[in-house]
Chains A and B, each alone.
Chain A
Amino acid sequence: MLDRPRLYWQCRRGMLELDILLQGFLDTKFDALAVAEQHAFVELLDYPDAILLEYMLGRMIPTDPRIANVVTQIRTPVES
C-alpha cells in the first residue's frame, strides 16, 4: 500500500522544476500506473535532485529500464 500523502511530501524538492513535474505527475497520472510502475516512481524519488533534473530535462537517461520508463511518462506533457 503506497502512502499517498507521504509521496506528496516526497515530491517536494529543492528545485521548482522538480516540484512542478513530480507533483503534477502524482496528481494527474500516478493513479493510472501499473503497480510495478508506481513502485518505480517511488524509487525514482530517492534519487538526488541534481540527477533528477538531468533526467527530467532529457539530458540523461536512467540505465534502469523501469526508472527510464517512468521518467518518459513524467516527461510526456499533460494537456492543460
Chain B
Amino acid sequence: MHGVNHMTIPIRKFDTLVIGAGGGGLRAALQLAQADANVAVVSKVFPTRSHTVAAQGGMNAALANVLPDNWHWHMYDTVKGGDFLGDQDAIEYMCHAAPRLVVELEHIGVPFSRLDNGKIYQRPFGGQSQNFGGAQAARTCAAADRTGHAILHALYQQNIRAKTHFFDEYFAIDLIKDDEGYILGALVLEIETGEPLIIQAKTTLIATGGAGQLFRTNTNARINTGDGMAMALRAGIPVQDMEFFQFHPTGIAGKGMLISEAVRGEGGYLVNGNGERFMERYAPNAKDLASRDVVSRAVATEIHEGRGCGVNKDHILLKVDHLGSEVIRKRLPGIRDMVMTFLNIDPIDAPIPIFPTAHYTMGGIPTNRFGQVVVPQQQGAEEPVPGLYAVGECACVSVHGANRLGGNSLLDIVVFGRAAGNHIIEYLKENRYSRVASQCSIDAAVAHLARWDQRGSPMGSGASSETVDGLRNELKAIMDHYCGVFRTEDVLRAGLDKMLKIEQRLQNVYLRDHSKVFNTARIEAFELENLVELALATVASALARRESRGAHMRMDHPQRDDVKWLKHSLFFKGGMLDYKPVRMKPLTVEGFSPKPRVY
C-alpha cells in the first residue's frame, strides 16, 4: 500500500487542458494549438482508439449536392427529431455552421466520398426532410463507412503538426479549482507508472464521450464509462437530461453489437418465445419495419411479460433463415460475418438472439453554444463555470434534445469542438495570468485518488467478497432491467432502490492488487465509481419525468406533456433534481413550436 502526499505530486502548467481525445476534444485542441495556445490533451487510451472511430454513418450538412437542401430544414428536422427538447439557439448554430465545417474537414484531409461531378456525396438518413417535413432529404456526408475513423485520424495528425502536447494513457481523477470557483485543470494518473500528476490550466475542456457502459447490452466501446460527466458531478455541477438514452431495437443479445435495420428491410422478422410474430400486434401495418422506438418497446414488452426466448426468456429471435442462403450471402454479407464471428451461428441456419441495445447518451454536462459549462444561479438564471468547457457526447448543449438524429453526432463534436476552442482563445486573452488552485480542492482530489489504496486489504480473512467486476455487472444488469426501454413508476422506483444499494456496496469493494505499474484494476475501480454516479442520475431523472418524449418512454405516461415537461432536468450529486426551461428562441429565425411528432 502506498499513500499519496500531494506535496510531492509534480505539476505541469498549460493554457488549456483537454480531457478526452475523441473528435470533440481534438477539434477544440486543434483550434487552440493553431492559435498558439499551449494545449495538453489527456486520454486514457491512445487517442486514435477513442470511440469516435466507431461512428460509421456520416455527418449531416445541408450542402444540397444530391437533393435540394437548406440549413433551416436541417434545423427543423433536428428540433422535431429531438421531440422539441433541444435548445433552438444551439441547433440553429450547429446546422448553419455544418456546411463550412465539412469543407474544413476536407481541407485537413478527410476523404469524403464523391459524386461523379466531383462534389461530396450525400446519403439519405432517417429523419431527414426537405421543406420542413416534406420529401426525404439526402444530407449525410460520409467517408465510405469509416467517417469517424477518417475524422479522428485527420484531427490527430493535425494536432501533432500543431504541437499539441499529448498525455497518452493518463486517467483523469478530479477537477481542481480555486477559492472563487475557477476550474484550473485536473489531477490525473499516469496508468503506466501509477504516479499522479497535477495538470494546472487556465481553462479545462471535458470531452470524454458517452456512458453506454451503464447498460449490459450496449453498442459502446468499453472505454465509454462517462468519466467526465461523473467528474463534473463531483465538482458540484449537475448533469442534464440523463433520462434520455437512445436504444437500438436489435443488438446481439448479451453482447450489444448492432444488427442493422437492413436485416428487417430484407424480410427478416422478430419472433417471441411462443414462436409468434408479435410485431403484428404492435404495428399492424409497418410490422417489423416500424420505427426504432416502437420496435424497441415491443421487444422489451414481450420479454417483460414473460414471452422471451431461451432458458431465461431474456431475449427475442430475429429470423432470417427463411430468406435462403443466396439472399443472405448476397444482400447481408456484413451481418452474416458479424453473427458468425460473435455468436458462432450462421444466420442461414439459425435465428439471431437480439435485445434492445443502448447506443447514445443524449444527456450530459450542461453547456451553452460556446461550450461553456453553465449552472443555475439564484432566480433561475444560469451562469458559466469560469474556465470550464465541455463538448460532444459528454455534454448536453442541447442539440439532440430527447432523441438524436443519425448523422448529427459527428457534426455536434466538430461544430462545438471548434466553438469551444474559439471561446477559450478569447477567454485566454482576458485571463493571462495563472490563478492559484485551492489547497482544499487539491486535497479532495488526492484523497479520492488515495481512497482505493487505503480500502481493504489484499489477504484480509474478514474482507468483503465484493469485487469491481461483480458490482459493475450487477449495475449494468439493473440498468438493463429497470431503466432500459420498458419504464414505469414501479420499475424505475425498484431500479432506484437497487442502485442506492449498489452505491452503498461500493464502499465494501476492495482491490486485491495495490501495485502501481499498469494497475488496470485500479482504473476500472475509478470507472465503476463514475458509472455508479451516472446510473443514479439516469434512474432518478427517468423516475421523475412522468411523460414520454423522444427516447424516454414511460408505459404509464405514454403521451408527451408540454405543459408540465417541456423543460430540461438537472440532477445534482446527492440526488437533488432541478429543472430549467428549453431555449425555444433561435438566433435569427422564428422558433419551432411543439407539435405532434409524426413521421
Judge whether B337 and A59 touch: CB under 8 Å.
yes
CA–CA, A57 and B220, complex, Å: 18
B191 contacts the other chain (CB 8 A): yes
Chain A hits for B53, CB < 8 A: 13-15, 48-50
Chain B hits for A49, CB < 8 A: 48-49, 53-54, 149
| Nearest B residue to A15, CB-CB | B54
Judge whether B334 and A14 touch: CB under 8 Å.
no
CB distance from B343 to the nearest CB of A (A): 8
CA–CA, A20 and B257, complex, Å: 10
Judge whether B338 and A9 touch: CB under 8 Å.
no
Known A21-B341, A49-B149: A3·B221 in contact at CB below 8 Å: no
A65 contacts the other chain (CB 8 A): no
Main secondary structure of the interface of A (DSSP, over half): helix
| Nearest B residue to A58, CB-CB | B337
B52 contacts the other chain (CB 8 A): yes
Judge whether A50 and B191 touch: CB under 8 Å.
no
B556 contacts the other chain (CB 8 A): no
CB distance from A64 to the nearest CB of B (A): 20
| Nearest A residue to B213, CB-CB | A16
B344 contacts the other chain (CB 8 A): yes
CB distance from A62 to the nearest CB of B (A): 16
Judge whether A17 and B257 touch: CB under 8 Å.
yes
Chain B hits for A39, CB < 8 A: none
Q: When each residue 388-418 of chain B gets 1 if its CB lies under 8 Å from chain A and 0 otherwise, what string results?
A: 0000000000000000000000000000000
Chain B hits for A6, CB < 8 A: 192, 518
Interface size of A in residues (CB-CB distance below 8 Å) = 25
Q: When each residue 50-79 of chain A gets 1 if its CB lies under 8 Å from chain B and 0 otherwise, what string results?
A: 100000111100000000000000010100
Chain A hits for B223, CB < 8 A: 12, 14
Instruction: Select one of A5, A16, A23 contacting B519, CB under 8 A.
Output: A5
Judge whether A57 and B518 touch: CB under 8 Å.
no
Q: Which residues of A1-53 are within 8 A (CB) of B?
A: 3, 5-6, 8-9, 12-21, 23, 48-50
B431 contacts the other chain (CB 8 A): no
Instruction: Select one of B48, B52, B219, B220 contacting A48, CB under 8 A.
Output: B48
Judge whether B221 and A16 touch: CB under 8 Å.
yes
Instruction: Select one of A19, A23, A48, A59 contacting B149, CB under 8 A.
Output: A48
Judge whether B220 and A16 touch: CB under 8 Å.
yes
B489 contacts the other chain (CB 8 A): no
Can you identify 24 A-B contacts, CB atoms within 8 angstroms? A3-B518, A9-B191, A9-B518, A12-B221, A13-B53, A13-B221, A16-B219, A16-B221, A16-B222, A16-B255, A16-B256, A17-B342, A18-B221, A20-B255, A20-B257, A20-B342, A21-B341, A49-B49, A49-B53, A50-B53, A56-B341, A57-B334, A57-B338, A57-B341
